[in-house]
Amino acid sequence: MLKYGGKYVNYTGMQREKMKIRFAFPSRLRKKNFISSLSLLLVICAFLLLFLKFTVKYSITIETYGSTAGYNDIELLHRYNIDCNAIYEMEPAELGKSLVIRKQVVVEEQDKSLVNLISNCPRYLRSRGYGDVQVSEEEQAFPLAYSLVVHKSASMVEKILRAVYTPNNIYCIHYDLKSSELFRESMEGLARCLPNVFIASKLEAVTYASISRLNADLNCLSDLIGSKVKWRYVINLCGQDFPLRSNIELVADLKKLRGGNMMETSRPSEYKKQRFSFHHELQNASFEYHRLPVKTNKAKGPPPHGIQMFIGSAYFVLSLEFVTYMNKSALARDFLMWSNDTYSPDEHFWATLTRVPGVPGEVPRAQADITDLMSKTRLVKWNYLEGPLYPSCTGKHVRSVCIYGAGELRWLLNYGSWFANKVDAKVDPVLIQCLEDTLQEKQRLLVKAMKSQQKIPSSVLAVDVILQ
């Protein structure tokens, strides 16, 4: 079992005043009252000492990426003093400790700190252990590609990238043109420090639920097709995703697809049909999305080439053969143009194309729906499914979606999905640390077992042995 080391807050103590007190005991009664009062005072002091001990022990100070005073490079990124095995086993004491951390920690945007750190690439790579990443021969022969469409929280994007990183894979980052200057600098810095990470050659100002979100992924896919890395599958991620499988485990799962794709693809309800049956126009919005596609009364014509519509999500796992076909297909180009004025086209574009007869990895149109409960691409927990299908959210709900908490670590790792959505260090940093450490240790143990040509122990393959 590995015990994680953490940084403790330096406690200077309380200033003591020097006081001179004279006590007079003219009678036994007064002396008795004094002893009683002194006993009560000692009890109160003991209680206060215990309280201070507890408070100091669980007080957390966030070390920014750029703060190096007093710490060596490997400690540049903050570590919480938490036992992830105990979190996985749902031990009340450790879960309570994680809740204390959650309440006391205020995770702030650290874009500037990350910019400072990656200004020195050797220091950054050393601090994040990139030189320690190990891959098996099977992984080297089966490289993966990633499209990361992101727009904020550089420190979270960095954690995602590190969690899915191996030197034989390739990574395209598309940042929103509306992102802050510091965020853009952070992403450019990551690409500068890592040779297999690059920024998309064409960038979009992404608008929620519009064609620009789909175009962002397409821009990365176009660049990835032209890369020298002969990747086998491409996976798209956003800034609140996190892997639930180590790279070696993911490669093993992807091989089982035998060239097929993994995504949601279902027949649309009458309500969902309105998203692409009517022309939509971008209009100003009064809430967090400044602009939004709004349905008009203008009906759209049917999709080109007799395409039958299906719906799914923006997330996909696509084979190189499928992406190559799509990149050359007139049908795909015409369908993309037709989807330009629809609502959230990324939620029907991939789901529909994978049903087109003859495409690589085709899902026949007659085949039953592949819902979000069946697809392994993302594990998303909706609040209205908690109870009958999912355990309760231990993090926080935002627009009906659970942002996971540490109490869901075991469930996340055992559910069978490849990625979790959503995670956020501002909601629960302990969960992210435990996922990160678990996957790194699984990768190390599995690669070591395969390189030694030994039979992989079932205890290593089992998720319930988190760290050894």
String of b and e for 313-337 (b: at least 16 CB within 10 Å)?
bbbbbbbbebbebbeebebbeebbe
Cα(122)–Cα(348) distance, integer angstroms: 43
Is residue 327 within 8 Å of residue 222, measured between CB atoms?
A: yes
- Which of 85, 87, 81, 83 lies closest to 59 in space, CA to CA? 81
Task: List residues bridging with 318 in a β-sheet.
Answer: 234
Cα(302)–Cα(309) distance, integer angstroms: 10
Active site residue 347: yes
Report residue 86: phi and psi, to 5°: -70, -35
CA distance to 45, 76, 193, 322, per residue, from 69 (Å) = 35, 10, 23, 50
SS3 294: strand
Residues 6+ apart with CB under 8 A from 182: 111, 112, 115, 154
Residue type for position 33: N
- Which of 466, 364, 379 lies closest to 417 in space, CA to CA? 379
CA geometry: angle 172, 176, 178, nearest 5 deg: 160
First to last CA, the chain: 5
Helices (H), 246-400: 247-255, 270-277, 320-328, 330-338, 349-353
Residue type for position 423: V
The first and second tokens of residue 386, run together, are: 């908690």
Is residue 412 within 8 Å of residue 90, measured between CB atoms?
A: no
Is residue 252 within 8 Å of residue 142, measured between CB atoms?
A: no
Cα(342)–Cα(265) distance, integer angstroms: 18
Q: Which of 63, 94, 185, 347 is catalytic?
A: 347
* Side-chain-facing half-sphere of 79: CA atoms under 13 Å: 18
Pairing of strands 317-319, 419-421: unpaired
How would DSSP label each residue in 217-268?
A: HHHHHHHHHTSSS--SEEEEE-TTEEESS-HHHHHHHHHTTTT--B--BBPP
User: Would you name the residues annotated as active-site residues?
Assistant: 347
